[in-house]
Amino acid sequence: MVDYIAFDSAQALEYVKNQTNFFAPDAELSCYEFGDGNLNLVFRVHDQQQNSVILKQALPYARCVGESWPLTLDRARIEASVLIRHGEVCPQTTVKVLHRNDALAITVLEDLGHMQILRGQLCEGHTYPNLAADIADYLAKTSFFHSDFYLSPAQKKALVVEFTNPELCAITEDLFFDDPYRQSERNNYPDELQPQVTALQNNLALKLEVAELKAKFLSSPQSLLHGDVHTGSIFVDQTNTKLIDPEFGFFGPIGFDLGSFIGNLLLNYCAQHKRAVELPKRRDLHAYLLNSIQTCVAQFEQTWLQLAKTQTRDLSLQAPGYVQRFINQVLRDAYGFCGTELIRRTIGLAHVADIDGIEDQQARIAVQQHALLLGEQLILQAPQCETKEDLSQLLISLLL
């Protein structure tokens, strides 16, 4: 077993050249590092004919903070394993793993450089017709086929052990459910937001609902989640959608991934109030984002119900009406988790470029206030909704 070292570009190039066979032995290779995420190194290795692969390597600490925040290398094993499992049930929407080396915390992936990262595209006002349906398909299939509806209890329990991911889950537990609701050195927001943040931190009804969501995150191993479905983890073009980066994967509540996705569309929705200066463009983008949320939720539900009808193996879970009841709860959870994503991305450690990229300070603060209010009301009101139609009505009423 080799000892871990963090690569530079030359070492990444040598590794791909010597340990894989993607390129001919005499290929003239080049390599550069271009990772701009919170945690890892990301290299592109390419030849002179535009053939390329991505080598991703986990660092033993969180890149965005530095060596003072140590972080397990085991996340590379989790990420590669989630990609392989999700790729088996939804290959068209999952980036391909070409090679892995868990000791070096390396995953070599297909290069999606011909596609774009969704967050930047939404910020620039581009839209993608297949996005909502593709994400719905990915979330429904990956969650159904790793749930108790499909796996035997023994298979499921073995997988829960394999995908136990305590350090990365702890980040989510702290950043989503703890920090924003109390004073924390990691919180990050302008002074102008302090009155709203103080009110939020003193809102006991809100803290009770956040406690419910955190308890669910801590102890509902419903299925194998991606764990970090934000719009920076999604590559798009006008035809295809690909998910990357499931290093936060674990067995958790199914609504968490759907809620993270919806939350990121809503962060962009809030930002477009100031980004899209011309009213017709703003209206179009808002309609696109709202429609994408509604389509994604409806198709997620429809695919789940269809899979459950034809492929549920557990006898008790086949009871008439049970799957609908189960999905209604998943959707309520999703809107609640969505609310926590809106709040933590506004006042917590990890922000989004959709909002932080708004240059005018007053405009940015107005967007942050909107995102906080929307997040708060979704967390408070989603538990009273029965169906996806009720949840959709709630969202529309809050966006008016």
CA gap 241, 136 in Å, rounded = 11
Report the residue from 6, 27, 29, 62 that binds ligand SR1 according to the rule CB under 6 A.
62
And the tokens for 260? Answer: 């993270």
- Tell me if 267 contacts ligand SR1 by CB under 6 A: no
The token duo for 106 is 């390396």
Tell me if 79 contacts Mg ion by CB under 5 A: no
Whole-Å CA distances, 387 to 12, 40, 52, 133, 265: 50, 39, 46, 19, 21
**Which of 84, 112, 305, 350 forms a contact with ligand SR1 (CB under 6 A)?**
350
Residues 6+ apart with CB under 8 A from 388: 297, 298, 301, 328, 331
Nearer to ligand SR1, 186 or 282 (CB): 186
By CB under 6 A, which span of 23-31, 123-131, 168-176, 332-340 interacts with ligand SR1?
A: 168-176
Decide which of Mg ion, ligand SR1, none touches 350; Cβ closer than 5 to 8 Å per partner kind: ligand SR1
| Sole binder of Mg ion in the list 245, 333, 341, 376 (CB under 5 A) | 245
Provide the CA 266 distance to its chain's centre, in angstroms. 14
Binding partner of residue 383 among Mg ion, ligand SR1, none, CB cut-off 5 to 8 Å per kind: none
Binding mask 190-229 toward ligand SR1 (x if CB under 6 A, else -) reads --------------------------------------x-
Q: Per CB under 5 A, does 341 bind Mg ion?
A: no
Cα-only R_g, the chain = 21
Structure tokens at 223: 């299925």
Instruction: Give least dist CB 233 to Mg ion, A.
Output: 6
- Site for Mg ion contains 257 (CB under 5 A): no
- Residue 368 near which of ligand SR1, Mg ion, none (CB within 5-8 Å, type-dependent): none
**If we measure between CA atoms, which residue out of 65, 301, 35, 86 comes closest to residue 188?**
65
Looking at this protein, which amino acid is placed at residue 367? V
Q: Which of 263, 191, 254 is nearest to 230 (CA)?
A: 263
What residues numbered 228-257 form the site for ligand SR1, per CB under 6 A? 228, 230
Residues contributing to the site for ligand SR1 (CB under 6 A): 38-39, 62, 64, 171-172, 175, 228, 230, 350
